Amino acid sequence: MATVHERFPLPPEALWQALQSGVTAVKGKNPYYDSAAGYVTFSTSMGLFSYGQTVTVKVERTPEGSGLAIQTSLKFGFVDWGEGKRIARKFIAAVGTAVGHTPAA
Q: Has residue 31 been placed in a domain?
A: yes
% of residues, the chain, pLDDT over 90: 71
For the chain, which residues score pLDDT lower than 70? 49, 103-105
Q: Helix (H, G, I), strand (E, B), or coil: what is residue 36?
A: coil
pLDDT in the model for residue 75:
81
Structurally, the chain folds into a number of domains equal to 1
pLDDT of residue 64: 87
Question: In this predicted structure, what is the pLDDT of residue 104?
Answer: 64
Q: Which domain holds residue 14?
A: 2-98
* CA–CA distances in Å: residue 72 to residues 10, 32, 64, 91: 24, 15, 25, 11
Residue 38 domain flag: yes
Instruction: Name the average pLDDT for the chain.
Output: 90
Q: Is 104 within a domain?
A: no
* Domain of residue 85, CATH code: 3.30.310.220
Question: What amino acid occupies position 98?
Answer: A
How far, in Å, are 1, 13, 23, 91, 94 from residue 83 at the CA level? 9, 28, 15, 12, 17
Alpha-carbon gap, residue 10 to 54, rounded angstroms = 26
Residue type, 94: A
Nearest 10 degrees: Cα torsion 42, 37, 70, 51: -20
Q: Per-residue pLDDT tens for 46-75?
A: 877 677 899 999 999 999 899 999 999 988
User: How far does Cα 51 stand from its chain's mean position?
Assistant: 18
Q: Does the pTM exceed 0.85?
A: yes
